Every structure is written in C-alpha cells, then in structure tokens.
Amino acid sequence: MLLLLVAGACGVPPAPTSSLAVERQSVLGGVFEPGSPAVGALVPVSPLCGEPDEASPVMCTGTLVAPRVVLTAAHCVESPDVSQVLSVVFSPESARALPAERVRVIEGRLHPAFNAVENDIGVLILAEDAPVAPVPLSGLTLPADVVGRSTRVVGFGLDDEGRTGMRRSGTARVTAVEPGTFSIEASPGMSCGGDSGGPLFLDIDGAERLAGITSYGDPSCTRGINMRVDVHAAFLQASLDDVARAPPSRPPFEPSVDACTAHCEGHADCPLGMACVPRPGGAKSCAVAGLEAGRFGADCTGPEGERLCVKAGGACRLWLPCNEPEPEPELELGGGGCAVTRDSGGSGTVFAVLLALVARAARSRMRRQEGSRSPPPGAHAAGCHAG
C-alpha cells in the first residue's frame, strides 16, 4: 500500500492504454554493483516490534555527497512527515545491512521551485555521519558533446525477477539535453522501479563524475528524464554549507518520558525517531514516528493482544493513545500482550502505520500540480518507476 501511494504521490498521468500491458523491466543490462558505496537505499523504518528493519521495502535511491547529506529526487522526500520515518542504507543489499550501515534521516529539504517534474531534486540530512565516503560534487558542466555518450545509472530498483533492495548498475545513452534535465535511453541499462533519486555518472577525462539524478521515465523503463546536477549546484551547495555550519541535532530517544506531555511545534522539537503530531484540540506532542499521539506503556509480554507494541531501545513497549485513560496497573502489567511483537515475523504492518503520512504527501502533491506541466503521455516518476 505504501509503494502504491508513493507512486500516486508522483502525480503523473496514467500511461496510454496501449502501454498498460507492458511490464516494467529491471535495470536492463544491469548487473549487481558491490561498489559505489556512496549510493544508498531509502527505506521506511517501522516503529513496530515484529517489523524488522531488514524487511523494509526500498522507496528510492540516493547518493551521499557529504558525510551527512544525501542527494535524491524531491518527489521521494517531499513530505516532512515521510522524512521522519526514513533511513538510508549503505550496503550492496539492503536486507543484509549491518546496524551501522543504516543511518536515520533527521530532515528532508526540497528545491524551493520544485513542482510536478520540474526541479525534482532534494537532500536528506542524516542524524550522524554515514559509514562510507561521499561522492564529491565536482562543479561539472555537461560537455557540449554529451549527446550520444554513455552514462552509468545506479540504484536499488527492480531486477529481472521483480525484486528490489540490491544495488545494481548499467549503462544508458544520453539522447538530449534541456536547460534543467537530460534524457537517456536503454543501452542496454536503464533505471526502473526503486531507482528514483539515484545517480547517473559520466566519464570525464578518465574519471567518473556525478552528472544527474533519476527523476521519471516511460512505463517500460526504456527511456528516462534526469535532473542535471550542474544546474542545481547553488541549491546543493547551500544545503552543504548549512549542514557544515550547524549540523541539525535531535535529543536522544527516551521511552521513560511521558510523550503525551512532551509538547512541540515541529519535528525538530522531538527526539530522533519521534515526530510532532497533532492532538484533539489543536495541541501537538511528540509521538513515535508513524503513530498517533500516545505514550509508552508496560513491556510487552506476548504475541496476543489488541494494542500496538513498539520498539523502545532494546525492549518492546505498549503504545497507548493519549486520548485513552491510563490502564489499571494490574491490567497493563498482566495483559501486556501486543497485536505485533518481535516474534510475529510479519512485514506488512509497516504499511498501515505509515499510510497516513504518505497519503498526506499524495494529497499535497496533487494540489500543487493543478495547472502545472505534466510529463509526456505515458511517462511516470521514476521513483514510481522507482518507488
């Protein structure tokens, strides 16, 4: 459900009837890419016990361009709420990543002129330095003879078996250059579902340079439109300078605090892993990101129960809505079973708890697109062809 809503959030017109039967292909001609360590997968983090991080689906792809800054497509991170539940995974296979290779996102920033498919570029700010070296922004300007040249695309999108979560790369051919974008076609590689925000590299004077990021393409994943990094250099540099000057920080996650009394004005007022959410009456409080306003209850005691069981450090705790009365101590302690626990092994509940966040992003995007330019008929956002 989450992926379908993200696709809807891209706000792209449906493909023509003649192309609906065309299956989305993997990175055509692509191969497993154990290198390119700065290219990471954007994945949601479920707050629920029993929803392991390893099972999280890939939403998009991004490239580390500074120790705490990841470059990606704006449509992947356009909602401040969605950015609160994301991590960037720096591993060739997202499901096999070590804990140190999963870095929580603290903030998302969009190009100020982003709308629909124009200026589809943004950055994610990480809560700590990534465990890999960044790809430097080199000040590259696209060469005059770039049309006809090969470019390397990298992403965690769909493979030939319809799976995501494995870093892959392939070569494509540049077919046209516009003021803010450049187009590519499969030759034989091409970005596809899950690759939005991923990098495109050009070989300049014997060295690979970051030239673009995946934005959108056709349903069959044979042609694509990519944002030019050189044209958006000022936006990117401003973000790099801001983070270098004053890295955003958040207080540590503390489950012993009564979250219902932790009032806030914005996400930055809440601990990492929590978000500022509205409560009845207009007030806001800090809640576990992805959930309604609430507070931590007793430790979970088993898999049977009606309440949500959330990750709280190394433990699993009940999550009790603020608008419900405090349970009797003997009931809370004696009946602390949860609908979801670490023993359940499920992976679908993450979609339910994040549903409202992504739906809100979709509605916002649709409103903003009224009267704006749409992609060519049959095009789709590559994070929809990407995630």
Q: Which amino acid is at 144?
A: A
Q: Which residues, other chains included, contact 26 with Cβ-Cβ below 8 Å and sequence gap of 6+? A: 157, 158, 159, 160, 161, 162, 168, 192, 221
Choose between 214 and 219: higher pLDDT: 214
173-199 pLDDT, tens digit each: 999 999 999 999 999 888 888 899 999
Average pLDDT value for the chain: 78
Question: Could you write out the DSSP letters of every residue in 253-310?
Answer: P-TTS-GGG-B-SSGGGS-TTEEEEE-TTS-EEEEETTS-SEEEEEEP--S--SBEEE
pLDDT at res. 164 = 84
Average pLDDT over residues 42-71: 92
Q: Which residues, other chains included, contact 297 with Cβ-Cβ below 8 Å and sequence gap of 6+? A: 307, 317, 318, 319, 320, 327, 332, 336
Q: Which residues, other chains included, contact 107 with Cβ-Cβ below 8 Å and sequence gap of 6+? A: 80, 83, 124, 125, 248, 267, 268
pLDDT value at 378 more than 90: no
pLDDT at res. 43 = 94
What is d(CA 226, CA 196) in angstroms, rounded to the nearest whole number? 9
What is d(CA 306, CA 17) in angstroms, rounded to the nearest whole number? 44
Beta bridge partners of 301: none
Cα angle 323, 306, 80 (rounded to 5 degrees) comes to: 55
Average pLDDT over residues 281-309: 83
Domain 1-251+347-387 -> CATH class: mainly beta
Q: Can you count the helices (H) and strands (E) in the chain?
A: 6, 19
pLDDT value at 170 more than 60: yes
pLDDT value at 74 more than 80: yes
pLDDT at res. 325 = 66
What is d(CA 274, CA 351) in angstroms, rounded to the nearest whole number? 17
What is d(CA 182, CA 214) in angstroms, rounded to the nearest whole number? 10
pLDDT value at 366 more than 50: no
Q: What stretches of 54-210 show up as alpha helix (H) in DSSP?
A: 74-77, 80-83
What is d(CA 213, CA 193) in angstroms, rounded to the nearest whole number? 14
pLDDT value at 250 more than 60: yes
With beta carbons less than 8 A apart as the criterion, state whether 166 and 32 touch.
yes
Which helix (H) or strand (E) segment is 360 a member of? helix 349-369
pLDDT value at 353 more than 50: no
Average pLDDT over residues 312-334: 70
Choose between 101 and 350: higher pLDDT: 101
pLDDT at res. 229 = 96
Which helix (H) or strand (E) segment is 233 a member of? helix 233-245
**Residue boundaries of the structural domains of the chain:** 1-251+347-387, 259-334
pLDDT at res. 338 = 59
222: how many CB neighbours lie within 10 A of its CB? 18
Average pLDDT over residues 133-140: 89
Select from 105, 101, 106 the least CA-distant residue to 90: 101
256-280 pLDDT, tens digit each: 878 888 789 999 999 888 899 998 7
What is d(CA 141, CA 29) in angstroms, rounded to the nearest whole number? 27
pTM comes to 0.81
Strand 223-228 to 181-186 pairing? antiparallel
> For residue 254, what are the CA distances in angstroms to 58, 271, 307, 350?
28, 8, 20, 22
pLDDT at res. 381 = 46
Average pLDDT over residues 205-224: 91
Q: What is the dihedral of CA 13, 17, 18, 20, to 10 degrees?
A: 70
pLDDT value at 347 more than 50: no
Choose between 34 and 212: higher pLDDT: 212
pLDDT value at 333 more than 70: no
Which helix (H) or strand (E) segment is 200 a member of? strand 199-204
pLDDT at res. 255 = 83
85-115 pLDDT, tens digit each: 999 999 999 999 999 999 999 999 999 999 8
Max CA-CA distance within the chain? 75
pLDDT at res. 328 = 57
Instruction: Name the pLDDT band for 39 (thresholds 50, 70, 90).
Output: very high
Average pLDDT over residues 57-70: 95
What is d(CA 229, CA 199) in angstroms, rounded to the nearest whole number? 10
Instruction: Provide the angle, in degrees to the nearest 10, between the axes of the packed helices 349-369 and 2-9.
Output: 10
Average pLDDT over residues 123-132: 96
